[in-house]
Amino acid sequence: FPNHQPHRLLFHQNPNDQNTLLPPPPAIAYLISGSTKDTSRIIRLLFAVYHPRNQYLLHLDKKASQYERDDLALYVQSVPLFKAAQNVNFIGKADFVYPMGASALSATLHGASILLRVSAHWDWFINLSADDYPLVTQDDLLHILSYLPKDLNFVNHTSYIGWRESRKLKPIVVDPGLYLEEEDEVFYATQKRELPDAYRLFSGSSSSILSRKFIEFCILGTDNLPRTLLMYLSNSPSSSSVYFPTILCNSRKFNRTTINHNLRYASFNSRKEALPLNTSNFNDLVMSGAVFAAPFEANNPILDQIDSELLHHKYDEPVPGGWCLGENETDKCTVWGDAEVLRPGPGAQRLEERFVQIFSNGTFRSSRCVYE
């Protein structure tokens, strides 16, 4: 670190230290994505999930202007903490991302591949959008994950296709985000196709917590399944919710590492559409034991409530953790300490209780990758 840096810089990693009784904390790679007018939301989310051990990759899609991308990049470069830790990067050449179609999955895989190249020292991959927000601190999350096997994958999934077969899987769509340089509409083809018989399709949430080993399998592996499935889903309207669950459950290497829970909170209406969260949902958020929740509208008062009561930070400052040594209660993170020191709080207890519920009832094995 440069000598003229006014902060105390003590970031270091010592995995060979045998004197500690606690397991070494893991590291998480975050892909944080947004679109036009999402710059402030991405910055707020970045501060809420920031920890110097982690890696962060920011992506504003092509619907955002080049000015917005430049503004985000300049802001990141202006924050001394980010410059010191050198763990916040951004995608300069943006992708088009359409909610319907394969471009969203393509952008996720693109981001994951960049994170694999950026650092060899992260253990889990988490894809967040500007609509997401954390319910626990990173110290809480890293503390709990440090006691879990690093090959676990947290993905909602089911093999029951039902109505999705006719609406989400058999239709053929053309996603212009994969082929065109300019924005256009996703359109349906008149033909439909049969479901594949070489593997069983699973559907789930597009949000998940995936192990590095699994991400490497999808992007760098020699198995044909990830590429075969990617080609099949390139013209599917539901590729993001099908790709990862299907690979996990059709792979003997990974189907036993799958937990049928993505550790996220959402509230749905009768049509299975996620409802925007507000202050009336706060108690449910806390009691859920979830790590993240979505969707949140920009500047909704519930975000301030989460910052104040759960994360204990200002929206434009990092969440204080064990690496923050400042004595000033209002700005503890002006002095930086050892990034391996964690200071878990009540969120860790809520998350621990959630994991106990998941693992103790004996159903987590019987509910994963079940053929219905």
pLDDT tens across 162-184, in order?
Answer: 666 666 777 888 877 777 666 66
pLDDT at site 248: 94
Q: Residue 196, CB half-sphere, CA atoms under 13 Å: how many?
A: 16
Burial label for 127, CB within 10 Å (0-12, 13-18, 19+), is: buried
Please tell me the predicted confidence (pLDDT) of residue 19.
43
* pLDDT the model gives residue 318: 94
pLDDT at 215 over 60: yes
Cis peptide before 237, with omega less than 30 degrees from 0? Answer: no
- Is 296's pLDDT higher than 80? yes
Q: What's the distance, Cα to Cα, between the start and end of the chain in Å?
A: 55
pLDDT grade, residue 11 (50/70/90)?
very low
Tokens of 197: 């018989």
> In this predicted model, what pLDDT tens digit does every residue of 320-367 receive, in sequence order?
999 998 887 777 888 888 999 999 999 999 999 999 888 876 666 667
Strands of the 133-134 sheet, one edge to the other: 133-134, 292-293, 264-265
pLDDT (0 to 100) of residue 283:
96
Determine the average pLDDT of the residues in 46-65: 96
At 228, the amino acid letter reads: T
**Which pLDDT value is given to residue 140?**
97
Q: Which of the two residues, 328 and 31, has the higher pLDDT score? A: 31
State the Cα–Cα distance between residues 91 and 155, nearest whole angstrom.
Answer: 26
Distances (CA, A) of 369 to 2, 146, 180, 221, 354: 50, 25, 36, 21, 21
Question: What percentage of the chain reaches a pLDDT higher than 90?
Answer: 60
Give me 344's structure tokens: 């878990």
For residues 16 and 48, which has the higher predicted lDDT (pLDDT)?
Answer: 48
The pLDDT tens digits for 231-286 are 999 888 888 889 999 999 999 999 899 999 999 999 988 777 889 999 999 999 99
CB atoms within 10 A of CB 185: 8
Q: Whole-prediction pTM value?
A: 0.91
More confident residue, 243 or 157: 243
pLDDT at 319 over 80: yes
pLDDT at position 135 is 97
> Mean pLDDT over residues 140-168, rounded?
85
Q: Which residues contact 80 (CB under 8 A, 6 or more apart)?
A: 5, 6, 7
Spell out the domains of the chain, with CATH numbers in brackets: 28-366 (3.90.550)
Average pLDDT over the chain, rounded to an integer? 87
- Residue 198: band (very low, low, confident or very high) from pLDDT cuts 50, 70, 90: confident
Give the residue-averaged pLDDT of 88-102.
85
Percent of the chain having pLDDT more than 70? 89
d(CA 166, CA 93): 35
- How much is the average pLDDT of 178-199? 77
**pLDDT for residue 207:** 85
Q: Which helix (H) or strand (E) holds 43?
A: helix 39-48
Report the pLDDT value the prediction gives residue 271, as an integer from 0 to 100.
Answer: 77
Structure confidence at residue 108 (pLDDT): 95
